[in-house]
Amino acid sequence: MDKKILNRYNSLEGAESYSGKFKRHWTERINDRNERNLVSALLRKALKGKSIQLALDLPCGYGRLYPVIKKCANRVVEADWSFHLLKLGREMRDNPPAEPPSPYVRATALSLPFRNNTFDLVLSVRLSHHIRERAERHQYVREISRVSKGWVIFTYFDQDSIKNRLREWRRRFRNKRSKWTLSRSEIQTIAEEAGFDLFYSTPLSRFFSGHRYVVLRKKNSIALP
């Protein structure tokens, strides 16, 4: 895990900055709206409009995607490494009075404090590209798969995306580090070992983003709709 990035998110200043990121500029507002729409569409595609009991949103940040996932899950556990983002998320949440408050858990995605097969669905957005070591990126995918008995939806920075290939080409002239990527074949191998099929995969944006969404489905799961 990259210490500098982790410390930044886990500081008050970093947490406040991230909670304003998708509101500051109109382009970010459009990105945010498009991403929420994409997550909604993926949830519909996987769950076929049915509801699930228990979902995990990790890392939840300040809860940007909570309203999207809550539409199809009776209960959502919000988890993140940053105390400040968890606190901001809790302050920003309007729990309807009839509902029990959402559970918030401080956890690292590399070693989750949950039993195997706890959740019907795990949503994990925009974390993998912050993990410096490839072995830890693999560990992260294994960990989010381990705690799901149904679905895993997550993002990674795609090694084969146009954005990444352009960046690698530009690196010949500029001193910029490589992105911390994964490839489809790595995902497929880890998914297979964890007992999942690669159900669906799509880029966040073909030209403007290197992030790719993946939907994994547990093989032979009785928990699936």
Contact pick of 85, 141, 182, 214 for ligand SAM (by CB under 6 A):
85
| 110 is a site residue for ligand SAM (CB under 6 A) | yes
**Three-state SS at 169:** helix
Alpha helices in 25-106 (DSSP H): 26-47, 66-70, 83-92
Q: Look at the block and give the residue holding tokens 């200043």.
A: 13
Q: Which is nearer to ligand SAM, 130 or 218 (CB)?
A: 130
Residue ranges in 156-215 that form contacts with ligand SAM under rule CB under 6 A: none
With CB atoms as reference, the residue minimizing the distance to ligand SAM is 61
Least distance CB 219 / ligand SAM (angstroms): 26
- Residue 85 vs 191, nearer CB to ligand SAM: 85
Stretch that binds ligand SAM, among 107-115, 145-153, 158-166, 169-177 (CB under 6 A): 107-115
Neighbours of 153 (CB within 10 A): 24
Helices 12-24 and 83-92 cross at an angle (nearest 10°) of 50
Rounded-to-integer distance, Cα 175 and Cα 10, Å: 28
The answer to whether the CB of 122 falls within 8 A of the CB of 144 is yes
80 lies in the site for ligand SAM, by CB under 6 A: yes
Strands, DSSP E only, in 136-188?
148-157
Residue from 88, 125, 141, 194 binding ligand SAM (CB under 6 A):
125
* 137 in contact with ligand SAM (CB under 6 A): no
Stretch that binds ligand SAM, among 66-74, 125-133, 182-190, 204-212 (CB under 6 A): 125-133
Query: Where does residue 122 fall: left (phi above 0), alpha (psi -120 to 50 degrees), or beta otherwise?
Result: beta
How far apart CA 112 and CA 124 sit, in angstroms, is 13
Among 19, 42, 82, 191, binds ligand SAM (CB under 6 A): 82
**Per CB under 6 A, 130 contacts ligand SAM:** yes
Structure token digits, residue 9: 């998110």
Could you list the residues that contact ligand SAM (CB under 6 A)? 1, 6, 9, 59-61, 64-65, 80-82, 85, 108-110, 125-127, 130
